Amino acid sequence: MQITKTDFIHYLNCPESLWLLKNKPEAYSQYKGKFSLFLEKLIKEGYEVEEYAKLLFSNGINLPENSTPEFTKKQLASINTVFFQPSFSTPKGVFARIDVLEKLANGSYHIYEIKSAVSVKKEKLEDACFQKYVLQECGYTVSKVSIIHLNKEYVRQGTINPEYLLEITEVTEQIEGIYSSVVNEINAASNLINKEVINEAECSSRYKTRSNHCDTFKYFNKDVPEYSIYEIGRISAKKIGQLVDNSHLSILDIPLDFELSTKQQLQVESVRQELVIINKPAIDKTLDNLKFPLHFVDYETFPTAIPKLDNMSPHNHLTFQVSIHTMQENGELTHFEWLGKKIEQPAEMLQQMQDFTDATGTFISWYAPFERGRNEDMANWISGFEDYLNYMNANMFDLMDVFKTDYVDYRFHGSTSIKKVLPVLCPQFSYSDLAVQDGTMALDTWGRMVTDPNFNEDVEQTRKNLLAYCKLDTLAMVEIYKVLKQL
């Protein structure tokens, strides 16, 4: 049974999940989440970075897509020295397709792995090591391994020069340091996927935090109950391991003397008592300190690996949409919204925002570091609005903070996301009825609408869908604020 680099990374994340994919693909497909829009975007951006990386090698030869290892072998015997996407397969069926392979003067090879990240993480080199293993098992000598990645210091000015956009970091020594352990893992992965039977009652993700669970976690871990230990906010993998080893999977099973932070203890107590824990004096004091008018604000942004505009750097966020609900002290509510029509800096948006809110009152957001970060970016990129954006940041309140310790509800399932809080506090409001239901859908929809010449959806309706989503984000904050004021 063949194992690819993607399979190997899957194995490192959760061996049992890979086994299920290889041996029971129908069962795997039922549990695996749909191919996420965000992952699809990352893959597209990876291809874009790859095209720029190829420009670093003027003599590179493009091998046909899905060409065979046999075809690669013939090409390596030619006078060419740089090959894009050559493929190799070991006698045991371990398959690799190399981003860039350079044949050196001494007959050895230099592997280049292309990444859309802005740095090289030592713990993320297993995939490059996998490539080296496959080549060497096929009888080739690999003397160098490098990572081609985006330069975090790069600032676009006009036409992109790939020599400035990208950096090449040699990792030969680091690869050598992990090579033997990675080879052992590759052999273990090959052995595992060829087993007819494994223990399907649990998987390795059982010992990881919720954000690191495999797609098929529920298939393997059917004994994990509602209100499980994985829902505890910011719980470490170490503590999860301690609880799992003692068969404590439910929050209700956690021993009373088990060490948790104050915030975590509040959450556990809320579950145990099925009680909403509210610190009303603290909430009242916090909200009473907010200066009117209150401007509930939310941005939608479009991050790209390759900067699309001058003065931007890799993975910067372009703000393309805003919604603001402004509440006066007498409760009067007004609304402003803006949605961009193309890839451009939103100077028009900022002018209209400033006209609508002026530098007055308090700006309220949900997870304020995000909005503050966008304001800092725009202050650097767009002249004339520095004072206004600085005022916003200096007078911004994060409504999400209330739900960290002062309002703890077990029905939030350990999350302070507005998508979890809103349906509990304001069940009359829902994102499920919207065509655009989250930020990832928003950036994907807008990105396709303004960049894809083959976009065949109704543009006017698409704009209405985007506006409705962002408007609900700020209206949700208004309604949650009202609930808190009425406690």
H or E element that contains 298: strand 294-303
Residue 425 CB-half CA count within 13 A: 26
Closest CA to 479 of 296, 353, 357, 300: 296
- CA 122/CA 125 separation, integer angstroms: 6
- CA 112/CA 170 separation, integer angstroms: 9
**β-strand pairing of 294-303 with 317-327:** antiparallel
Q: pLDDT-based confidence at 33, cuts 50/70/90? A: low
In degrees, rounded to 5, the angle at the alpha carbon of residue 324 between the alpha carbons of residues 323 and 325 is: 125
pLDDT of residue 122: 77
CATH of domain 279-487: 3.30.420.10
Residue 369: Cβ-neighbour burial (10 angstroms; 0-12, 13-18, 19+): exposed
- CA 10/CA 21 separation, integer angstroms: 10
Q: Residue 114 pLDDT more than 70?
A: yes
- CA 461/CA 285 separation, integer angstroms: 43
Location of structure tokens 């994985």? 230
Structure tokens at 454: 């083959």
- Report pLDDT digits (tens) over 379-400: 999 999 999 999 999 999 999 9
Closest CA to 118 of 165, 172, 51: 165
Phi-psi region of 331 (alpha: psi -120 to 50; beta: other; left: phi over 0): left
- CA 195/CA 427 separation, integer angstroms: 48
**How large is the average pLDDT for residues 390-419?**
97
Neighbour tally for 436: CB within 10 Å: 23
Delimit the domains of the chain by residue range. Answer: 5-193, 204-278, 279-487
Q: Residue 229 pLDDT more than 70?
A: yes
- Report pLDDT digits (tens) over 75-101: 999 999 999 999 999 999 999 999 999
In this structure, what is the dihedral angle of CA atoms 401, 406, 412, 417, given to the nearest 10 degrees? -10
Structure tokens at 181: 């352990």
Amino acid at 350: L
Q: Residue 147 pLDDT more than 90?
A: yes
- Lowest-confidence region among 119-123, 214-218, 336-340: 119-123
pLDDT of residue 36: 67
**How large is the average pLDDT for residues 93-112?**
98
pLDDT of residue 37: 75
pLDDT of residue 41: 86
Q: pLDDT-based confidence at 38, cuts 50/70/90? A: confident
Amino acid at 237: A
- CA 289/CA 420 separation, integer angstroms: 26
Closest CA to 165 of 182, 153, 183: 153
pLDDT of residue 35: 58
- What class has domain 5-193? alpha beta
**β-strand pairing of 294-303 with 362-365:** parallel
